[in-house]
Amino acid sequence: MLDTQDRSTLVKVSELTHYLLCPRLVYFNAQGKQQPAHVQKNDRSAIEHALFKELGFSWQKLCLGDQENVPKSRDRKPDEAIAQTLAEITDDLELIYKNELGSVSEDLLERVKTDFVTLISTSEWLGRLQSNDELALLERSFGFERERSVISQRLGLVGSMDKLIRTGDEHIPCIIKTGRCPAYSVWKRDRMQLAAYALLLEDAYETTVQRGFVEYIRAPEVRTAVIKRGDRALALQTVKRVKRVKNGLFPDKGEHAPCEHCAFAAQCETRRTLLSRLLMR
């Protein structure tokens, strides 16, 4: 790890995933046209995203039970342990996501928190959670580093994985996703993201990363992803493409670009129109 390198010259792993979604997201961000970092006052989905993200860091307590103060926990009912874990998530949310939630109305925030606790406590979510115990056991046995950042000058890459589990033999990257879960396996974008983290870890620790985990927390499903050659190749190829875009290349839209909800939609159309006029001359 070379923390002294200027990060502005590096490609972020998040930029790789943005590129696969739509290359123009990378372009406009590189041009200094940043998307709003804060949550709009009526943006319920962003609050839910933060809540589920935090749940991803604590769900093993719900799956295996909190082993701190074991004699006391044995006397507690399961629903009391669940209530305590959810209370910790909701109580700390504004402090952890201070920048993102700074402008949200307190009334909306409290309503979303209440709905979230009700959903987790009364739905089938907890029942489905019980089968996802492999990652929970690893976390219980070895712990994890939250939001572990790794830099590689050789790769020109930097990334912060949600969790890093280090056993005696393995470095295992984990990512938390709050969106849709695929019917099976792992989304292509998520496989590439794990492969990028694997490349960073291998460069930093002179090891070989064999696998990673993706937590589709809303489902909830935990999927194991074997780090394959094709995903490594895609990650390295995308690094090169992102560098070209950041150097000024205006790319085509992604095939499944989320144009309807994109903060850059107006700028994207204006840029495309100007480019078309220039090419016609």
Residue 42 pLDDT more than 50?
yes
Residue 77 pLDDT more than 80?
no
Nearest to 1 by CA among 208, 233, 206: 206
Select, from the ranges 127-136, 179-188, 269-278, the one with the highest average predicted confidence (pLDDT).
Answer: 179-188
Residue 80 pLDDT more than 90?
no
Spatial contact of 139 and 165, defined as CB atoms under 8 Å apart: yes
Residue 66 pLDDT more than 60?
no
Averaged pLDDT for residues 233-246: 96
For residue 277, give both structure tokens.
Answer: 């006029």
Residue 181 pLDDT more than 70?
yes
Residue 198 pLDDT more than 90?
yes
When pLDDT is cut at 50, 70 and 90, the band that residue 3 belongs to is very low
Q: So what CATH class is 136-238? A: alpha beta
What is d(CA 19, CA 78) in angstroms, rounded to the nearest whole number? 43
Task: Report residue 221: phi and psi, to 5°.
Answer: -140, 140
Helix/strand/coil for 54: helix
Give pLDDT tens digits for 103-155: 888 999 999 999 999 888 876 787 776 556 788 889 989 999 999 999 999 99
CA 218, 78, 63, 162 torsion: positive or negative?
Answer: positive
For the chain, residues classed under CATH 3.90.320.10 are 136-238
Residue 37 pLDDT more than 50?
no
pTM of the model: 0.86
Q: Which amino acid is at 208?
A: T
